[in-house]
Amino acid sequence: MVIEVTNEQEMKSFGARLGRLLRGGEVIELVGDVGAGKTTLTKGIATGLNITEDVQSPSFTISRVYPARDGLTLAHYDFYRLQEAGIMGDELKETILNQKTITIIEWGGIVEGALPVDRLTLSIVAPTETVRRIIVEAHGTRSLEIEHGL
């Protein structure tokens, strides 16, 4: 499935729509260049999870965690600055297994081995300054359910 948005607000709205579908245990992988809109999309997802805290890019801290609706937690990772998975890979595996957690991953290449098959991959391309094309790929039962709900 491919979705096109034409400005930042539409990206956030799409994220919120996706966020409202989440029930816990889902893994969302975000793929795209620097400035593609991965963190902006995550802010929208956070809105759909009723997170009121300001979602900040975790590129310096690698991970940030936010309490969300219904006793859920959003774990947002950005592995851009990480040279090797190391213990972060183990921490990530544990987070992913937690069915009360939604895991969002930017720059997941380094932790590829820790990622479950059943994940929703969103690849963002930017044909212009403000247009973003989001390619949605589901790799398993749960992620397919979410894609169909979008």
Ligand X SMILES: Nc1ncnc2c1ncn2[C@@H]1O[C@H](COP(=O)(O)OP(=O)(O)O)[C@@H](O)[C@H]1O
User: For ligand X, which is the closer residue by CB, 27 or 31?
Assistant: 31
CA atoms of 49 and 60, how far apart (whole Å): 24
- Which of Mg ion, ligand X, none does residue 34 bind (CB under 5 to 8 Å by kind)? ligand X
Provide the β-strand partners of residue 29: 105, 121
Quick one: how far is CA 80 from the chain centroid?
14
What minimum distance in Å lies between the beta carbon of 38 and Mg ion? 5
Segment 103 to 132, residues that bind Mg ion, using CB under 5 A: 106
The residues of the shown chain that bind ligand X, judged by CB under 6 A, are 5, 7-8, 11, 32, 34-40, 57, 106, 130, 132
Biggest alpha carbon–alpha carbon distance for the chain: 39
Q: Considering only residues 50, 56, 57, 123, which one is a binding residue for Mg ion as defined by CB under 5 A?
A: 57
What minimum distance in Å lies between the beta carbon of 77 and ligand X? 12
What minimum distance in Å lies between the beta carbon of 75 and ligand X? 16
Backbone angles phi, psi at 96, to 5 degrees: -65, -35
- Which of ligand X, Mg ion, none does residue 11 bind (CB under 5 to 8 Å by kind)? ligand X
Kindly list the strands in the beta sheet with 101-106, ordered across the sheet, starting from the edge strand earlier in the chain.
2-5, 132-138, 120-125, 27-31, 101-106, 73-78, 63-67
Q: Which residues of the chain form contacts with Mg ion (CB under 5 A)?
A: 38-39, 57, 106
